[in-house]
Chain A
Amino acid sequence: MNLGEGVQVVSLIVLAAMLTASAMGVVLLPSIVYAAFLLGACFISVAGLYLLLNADFVAAAQVLIYVGAVNVLILFAIMLVNKRQPYQPIKLGIVRNIVTAIVCVGLFVLLSVTVTTTEWGVRPIASVPSTMVKLGQHFFTDYLLPFELASVLLLVALIGAIILARREMLPDIQPSGLGMSENLELLERPKEKASI
C-alpha cells in the first residue's frame, strides 16, 4: 500500500484504539443490542487493520461476510430471543469474574512478552502486483480441495441451521388420502415448553 510511514502509524493507533474500545464494549455493556452494534464497529476496524497489512481482498471479504452477514444474523437472533429478564445472581459470580479477569490479563502479559522477545525473522515485504490474482491462483491450484470442501461445509451449515431452527413436525397427524395441496404445507408444532 502506498501510504507514508507516518500515516500508517497514525491509522494503526486509531484503528487499535477503536478495536479495543469496541471489543470491551461488546463484552462489558449490559445492553446486548448496543453490544451487537459495537461488534459491527469492531469488525470494521479489523478490516482497516487488514488494509494496513496489504490484504485488500480479505478486508473486503471481512466487511461483506462479517458486517453484512454475521452481524445482521446476530441482530436478528437478538430480536428473536429478546427476553428481558433479570439474571438470578449465582453464588461466587463476582469471584468468577475477578478470577477470569486476572487469568485473561495474565495471558495477555504472557503473549506480549513472548511476542516482544521472539526473533521473528521478518523479511522485507515483496511487492505483489495484485493480491487477488495471487489468491485466485492459490485457490484453484494447490488449495483446490479445501476450497471445494468449504462449499460442502457451507451447504451442511445451511441445512443444519434450517433443521435446528425449525419447529418439529407433528408426528401424529397423518394426512391420508388428501390432495397434494395439504401435503405441501410445512407441518409445525405450536410453541410449547419442554419439561426442564
Chain B
Amino acid sequence: MTLDAFLIIAASLFCIGIYGLITSRNAVRVLMSVELMLNAVNLNLLAFSDFLDSSNLRGQVFAVFVITVAAAEAAVGLAIVLSIYRSRDTVDMEQFNLLRW
C-alpha cells in the first residue's frame, strides 16, 4: 500500500491504452483505448490526492472534472464514428483518410 504501487498500475494501464490506440483497426476500439488512458490519469490524480494532499482532496475534484470531460468526449466521439460509418460504410481506421492528405 504505497504510492509507487498505484502509480505503476496507472502507468501500465496508460501504456496498454497507448498500444490499443495505435494498433487497433476498429474506430470504436480506439475510443475504448482513450477511455482506458483517461482512467489511468484519474488513478494517478486520486493516488496523489490521497498520499500527498489528503486534507484538501483537490485531486478528487480534478478527477470529477476529468470524468465529466471523458463522458462528453465519449458521446461526441461515438457520434462522429456513427456519422463516418454512414458515409463511408466502414469502421476501419486505415480507410479514414479524410483529414490525412
Could you tell me which A residues sit within 8 Å of B by CB distance? 5, 8-9, 12, 16, 19-20, 23-24, 26-27, 32, 35-36, 39, 42-43, 46, 49-50, 52-55, 57-58, 61-62, 65-66, 69-70, 73-74, 76-78, 80-81, 83, 85, 87-88, 90, 96-97, 100-101, 103-105, 107-108, 111-112, 115-116, 120-123, 125-126, 128, 131, 134-135, 138-139, 143, 146, 150, 153-154, 156-158, 160-162, 164-165, 167, 191, 193-194, 196
Contacts and interface: CB of A to CB of B under 8 A. Distances in A.
Given A70-B74, A120-B3, A135-B57, A83 B91 contact: yes
A134 B54 CA distance: 11
Given A58-B64, A81-B85, A164 B79 contact: yes
A55 B88 contact: no
B25 to A, nearest CB: 5
Majority secondary structure of chain A interface residues (helix, strand, loop or mixed): helix
Given A83-B90, A165-B79, A128 B13 contact: no
Contact of A191 (B3, B46, B64, B86): B86
A154 B71 contact: yes
A108 B7 CA distance: 11
Nearest to B85: A81
Contacts of B28: 32, 36, 74, 77-78, 81
A26 B46 CA distance: 23
A163 to B, nearest CB: 8
Contacts of B63: 55, 58
B6 A122 contact: no
A22 B1 CA distance: 22
Contact of A8 (B1, B31, B35): B1
B82 A80 contact: yes
| Listed residue (B32, B47, B52) with the most chain A CB atoms within 10 angstroms of its CB | B32
A61 B64 CA distance: 8
Majority secondary structure of chain B interface residues (helix, strand, loop or mixed): helix
| Listed residue (B27, B69, B70, B83) with the most chain A CB atoms within 10 angstroms of its CB | B83
Contacts of B49: 53, 55
A65 B65 CA distance: 12
B16 A43 contact: no
A77 B57 contact: no
13 contacts: A16-B5, A23-B16, A23-B36, A24-B16, A53-B50, A57-B64, A73-B75, A122-B51, A122-B52, A138-B61, A157-B71, A194-B88, A196-B88
A58 B60 contact: yes
B11 A139 contact: no
A53 B94 contact: no
Contacts of B1: 5, 8-9, 12, 52
